[in-house]
Amino acid sequence: MLKGVFGRMTKRSVLKELIFKEIDVVIIGSLGIVSFLSFFIGAVVALQTALNLNNPLIPKSLIAFAARQSIILEFAPTFISIIMAGKVGSFITSSIGSMRVTEQIDALEVMGINSLNYLVFPKIIAMLTYPFLIAISMFLGIMGAYTAAVMGGFVPADVFLQGLQEEFDPYHLFYAFFKTFIFAFILATVPSYHGYYMKGGSLEVGQASTTSFVWTSVVIIITNYIVTQLLLS
């Protein structure tokens, strides 16, 4: 499939328009749900850490430290990507699958258009902006943690901010964004594959969306393990 995706290119002006459209649908369209989830999951992470921190010898700044580490290392890049596999992945599979069922892909091919490039390439390029979404998720996750921990009275604001900066390793950010780029590629290609090569009718479009979500999640989880093993161990 990738040979076709990066094969004969669609006209540049058309491609540019398609890429902006995909960014609008896939990235901008996901801002709401990602922001909502990030803020509240960040809050819950801080809350859980605070509630389980019963030992008086452990400093309260650990709440911020734990929230930061879990949000930057795993929650924002991995958990949000699984959510995106459900939201964006299913959308990609069903939209391409519907085009397959209604012969729209055949129509592109008959016109002499490289349908894989026309349909999938803009999605891959649009997903290059996915790390911005993850950056927003990280920020809002930490804001959620701050709100829950400080406003909830578990830790003073200055101690939280001190914990947030404790033993901060910029390499962790590199690791998080490196895997985000890989997840972005997976989120664009695996659902596209399931949509493009599906067979059958409307019912099968639904089945393909479900299969696509399962496989995208599986590939993300396994890739996450491999990347973590390679970059952090």
Unique residue bearing structure tokens 């004969």: 8
Alpha carbon distances (Å) from 65 to 72, 142, 185, 227: 11, 10, 30, 23
Q: Give me the least distance between CB of 176 and other proteins, in Å please.
A: 34
**Closer residue to other proteins in complex, CB, 32/112:** 112
Residue 228's SS3 state is helix
By CB under 8 A, name the one of 1, 2, 9, 11 that touches other proteins.
11
**Closer residue to other proteins in complex, CB, 8/218:** 8
**Closer residue to other proteins in complex, CB, 47/96:** 96
**Closer residue to other proteins in complex, CB, 156/201:** 201
Rounded CA separation 41/47 (Å): 10
Asked if 16 touches other proteins (CB under 8 A), the answer is: no
Residues that bind other proteins (rule: CB under 8 A) add up to a total of 17
**What six digits make up the tokens of 70?**
């879990």
User: By CB under 8 A, which span of 104-112, 128-136, 191-199, 223-231 interacts with other proteins?
Assistant: 104-112
115: which residues sit within 8 A by CB, 6+ positions away? 4, 105, 108, 109, 196
User: By CB under 8 A, which span of 51-59, 97-105, 135-143, 178-186 interacts with other proteins?
Assistant: 97-105
Q: Give me the least distance between CB of 205 and other proteins, in Å please.
A: 13
Rg (CA), the chain: 21
**Closer residue to other proteins in complex, CB, 103/169:** 103
User: What's phi and psi for 113, nearest 5 deg?
Assistant: -100, 135
Rounded CA separation 28/87 (Å): 13
The one-letter code for the residue type at 87 is K
Rounded CA separation 146/75 (Å): 16
**Closer residue to other proteins in complex, CB, 3/55:** 3
Burial class (CB in 10 A: 0-12, 13-18, 19+), 75: buried
Asked if 106 touches other proteins (CB under 8 A), the answer is: yes
By CB under 8 A, name the one of 20, 58, 103, 222 that touches other proteins.
103
Q: Give me the least distance between CB of 21 and other proteins, in Å please.
A: 9
Asked if 8 touches other proteins (CB under 8 A), the answer is: yes
Asked if 28 touches other proteins (CB under 8 A), the answer is: no
**Whether 42 contacts 71, CB under 8 Å:** yes
Q: Give me the least distance between CB of 98 and other proteins, in Å please.
A: 8
The residues that touch other proteins, with contacts defined as CB under 8 A, are 8, 10-11, 13-14, 98-99, 102-104, 106-107, 109-113
